[in-house]
Amino acid sequence: MFANSNHPMSAVSPVNPEPDPASYQIRVLLVDDQLIIAEAVRRMLAAHPDIDFHYVTDARAAHAAALSLRPTVILQDLVMPGADGFQLLAGYRAEESLREVPVVVLSAKEEARLKAHGFAVGASDYLVKLPDQLELVARIRHHSRGYISLLQRDAAYRSLRASQDELAQANLELRKLAALDGLTGIANRRRLDEAIDAEWQRARRQQAPLSLLICDVDHFKHYNDSLGHPAGDLCLKKTAAVLTGQLKRPADLAARYGGEEFAILLPETGLDGALKLAEDCRRHLEQLAQPHPAAPCGTVTMSIGVASALPGEGGSIEALVAAADGALYEAKRAGRNRVAAAG
């Protein structure tokens, strides 16, 4: 039998959802095959409305009852038909959700050997039944308060961990946003500078080449003057999409360099490979055929300067950037809509 104090002979609902630890009520589960004991304990606790009392007389149902009720303390008889109280106690301790629930052994015998064995298998306390009412209530309150405090501490820890995880995720998203250009959605100048520094160091360790492309949308000021800034913004977005569309490897990076200038960083890529990718970018933008009333050819084009270095052989990041920038100047001086390599 499995019943509660308000309705001694009625069935209890199968499973209680785990309550909020902040609102935990003291809940007692008595496991004893003698109804007279259950009634005696019920009477002892009747004057304490904050203590929710339940009992089970069939020891075989004790484990399931504990899982369902989620008691804050279990009063456990040792000798019952068809069950060993010590085995029941060990069973609670083997169940993760019951492992920390205080178990007070109620025994008809006061033997040191039984007490020692009870504590060895996980008992929290040992009382000879029936104890004095004041003592029983005091022990129930003591063990329940300790268990509820444990639950509240664990809940607070889980909440803290969740908050820390949420904060870490938010910080990660903020770092990602801080590394992106607000208009085009690709990497910004800050992210490019960080990537160049990291890839330069890696290329120096691995004796690998590193290439840089600096791209400039031709006659962009005149484009803005002719069609307006909203059209200019859209043009820059399309240009960024063309550049990123040509990148095939995760380490390759396209970034907005400033204004209408873009840059592409190509780790482990020599000059020939960089020139090929630069030409692909130039050609794809030209093929979009975006009208440009102020351009001699009538469409949006770009000029690209390409430089490559072997960091292991010396040089500097500044020299690589200056070389790519110089090559861009040469491409523009030669008539624009073309790719030029650093000499």
- The residues that are catalytic are 260
Q: Which tokens in the block code for residue 138?
A: 């005091």
CB atoms inside a 10 Å sphere around CB 342: 21
Distance, in Å, from the CA atom of 217 to the CA atom of 333, rounded to the nearest integer, reads: 14
Distance, in Å, from the CA atom of 140 to the CA atom of 45, rounded to the nearest integer, reads: 10
Q: Is 309 exposed, middle or buried (0-12, 13-18, 19+ CB in 10 A)?
A: buried
Angle, CA of 128, 70 and 30, to the nearest 5°: 25
Picking from 266, 282, 259, 273, the residue whose alpha carbon sits closest to that of residue 331 is 282
Distance, in Å, from the CA atom of 171 to the CA atom of 167, rounded to the nearest integer, reads: 6
Picking from 53, 3, 48, 49, the residue whose alpha carbon sits closest to that of residue 28 is 53
Picking from 96, 120, 97, 3, the residue whose alpha carbon sits closest to that of residue 105 is 120
Dihedral of CA 299/302/303/306: which sign?
A: negative
